[in-house]
Amino acid sequence: RFAHAAAVAVAEAPAKAYNPLFIYGDSGLGKTHLLHAIGHYAISLYPGIRVRYVSSEEFTNDFINSIANNRSSLFQSRYRDNDILLIDDIQFLQGKDSTQEAFFHTFNTLHDHNKQVVITSDLPPKHLTGFEDRMRSRFEWGLITDVQAPDLETRIAILRKKAQSEKLQVPDDILEYMATKVTSNIRELEGTLIRVTAFASLNKTPVDLSLVQTVLKDLITLDEDNVIAPV
């Protein structure tokens, strides 16, 4: 929830609240969704604002191509001529010295001109060992916040929303059961719902507890401790 509040603050006041905003957490917890939400919300508040979302892999490929095609100036303008730069999975740049150098100068240019930078990672800055100290220190200039696995009530709400958006008919008790069994991340939770309903549809059977247990037997351990089985 703190990460969500920080994301809202950044969208409402780019480069004035927290700059950079560094969001970290395990895969599947909604970091990419938060980045897109920041961008969409900022655009709704400030029509004409220049927002760019990019994955670190895409940033790397763009940088490599700019060198190969002698288009460094185009690369620089693509990432520096923005009011908000949203860069996903920064850990992908670990060990890529030249790309890190390009991002270092991009970051400095944006920050020096009071432009917002939002970064996501699977690790906090201090654990990104494949980065130079000067880069890690810049990640720590603003606010560092983590995203955590959703609690039971939130997981149930996520499943209900997903079911509604996909027009899936699933009883509440089944949604609650799935929410108690799949606790690791949002992506797996939503995938579980799709898997169960697809199985029911293809086999023309109702979505009931027996079906869920059958479909998820390789994902969950149905024992007295309700332990998640290794995937």
Q: Which domain holds residue 162?
A: 152-215
Integer Cα distance of 12 and 46 in angstroms? 9
Q: Are residues 108 and 164 in the same domain?
A: no
- Pair (109, 6) in one structural domain: yes
CATH code for the domain of 79: 3.40.50.300
Q: Please report whether residue 161 resides in a domain.
A: yes
Under a CB-based contact definition with an 8 Å cutoff, are residues 110 and 117 in contact?
Answer: yes
The answer to whether position 227 is within a domain reads no
| 56 closest CA partner among 116, 129, 127, 106 | 106
Strands (E), 4-161: 21-24, 51-55, 84-88, 116-121, 143-146
135 and 47 belong to one structural domain: yes
For residue 182, the number of C-alpha atoms closer than 13 Å in the C-beta half-sphere is: 32
CATH number at residue 158: 1.10.8.60
Could you tell me what percent of the chain has a pLDDT over 90? 57
Percentage of residues in the chain with pLDDT exceeding 70? 94
Q: Is residue 225 part of a domain?
A: no
Read off the pLDDT of residues 174-231 as tens digits, 9 standing for 90 and up. Answer: 888 888 888 777 788 888 888 888 888 888 888 888 888 887 876 655 433 444 333 3
Residue 224 domain-assigned? Answer: no
